[in-house]
Amino acid sequence: MPGTLFVVTAPSGAGKTTLVRGLLQRDARVQLSVSFTTRAPRAGEQNGREYHFVDLATFRALRDRGEFLEWAEVHGNYYATSKVWLKEQVAAGRDTLLEIDWQGAQQVRKAFPDAVGVFILPPSLDELEKRLRGRNTDSDDVISRRLLAARGEMRHVAEFDYVIINNELQEALEDLVAVVRAARLRYAPQHLRHPQYFDFLEQD
């Protein structure tokens, strides 16, 4: 049975990484897709764990060879999802989550129309700024650029199936867990999971 694909998108600082980490701890059946990026690693980030960190020439070579399912320039760096790896995982029945921006989400939706889209919103733009500053990982310049972009990114919220406002962290995590659970209960995966039951219903 094919796995379910989850696409989680948010403006930088809304809490996407924190929520996804919480989900992965709660639900061992969901795995994360590790993207390629030309961005430099942040303190504590490891090559192959948070991202595959590559230089621009390598990124372009991989892209031109058709290795990416989607790619986008976000805040001055390039990001991409591996095509072969993802197709293998979904075909092998593994539920896989992509943490990508709205441009990538649009491309994934075309290739996987059944993908479940989740948009995470901050409670306000003021709170978003506080979180970006509190995270202490980016320079003032980078933070200003990300804040300027946030409103434009948030306008794409209507393209997603589910919207989670990350105000209180535990509540937002429960929401994300609930979305994953609900997605597994959709007709198509249930039909595949319980073939005898559905065969019985279809008999005269």
Question: C-beta of 202: minimal distance to ligand ADP in Å?
Answer: 45
If contact means CB under 5 to 8 A according to the sort of partner, which of ligand ADP, ligand 5GP, none does residue 3 touch? none
Out of 14, 74, 143, 154, point to the residue binding ligand 5GP (CB under 6 A): 74
Complex with ligand ADP: residue 50 or 90, whichever CB lies closer: 50
Complex with ligand ADP: residue 17 or 111, whichever CB lies closer: 17
Chain centre to alpha carbon of residue 67: 19
Does 22 interact with ligand ADP (rule: CB under 6 A)? no
Q: Which residue has the tokens 């659970």?
A: 181
Bridge partners of 30? Answer: 95
What lies within 8 Å, CB to CB, of 185 at 6+ separation is: none
Complex with ligand ADP: residue 53 or 67, whichever CB lies closer: 53
- Cα-flanking dihedrals φ and ψ of residue 37, to 5°? -145, 155
Helices 16-26 and 169-184: crossing angle in degrees, nearest 10, is 60
Bridge partners of 96? Answer: 5, 31
| DSSP state string for 188-202 | HHHHHH-HHHHHHHH
Does 131 interact with ligand ADP (rule: CB under 6 A)? yes
Q: Is 175 exposed, middle or buried, given 0-12, 13-18 or 19+ CB atoms closer than 10 A?
A: middle
Complex with ligand 5GP: residue 12 or 166, whichever CB lies closer: 12
Complex with ligand ADP: residue 63 or 135, whichever CB lies closer: 135
Out of 5, 7, 13, 72, point to the residue binding ligand ADP (CB under 6 A): 13
Site string for ligand ADP, 76-115 (x = CB under 6 A): ----------------------------------------
With contact defined as beta carbons under 8 Å apart, do 59 and 36 qualify? yes
Does 35 interact with ligand 5GP (rule: CB under 6 A)? yes
> What is the rounded CA–CA span in Å between residue 103 and residue 118?
14
**Contacts with ligand ADP: how many residues (CB under 6 A)?**
14
Q: Looking at residue 47, what DSSP letter applies? A: B
Question: C-beta of 43: minimal distance to ligand ADP in Å?
Answer: 13
Q: Which residues bind ligand ADP (CB under 6 A)?
A: 10, 12-18, 131, 134-135, 166, 169, 172
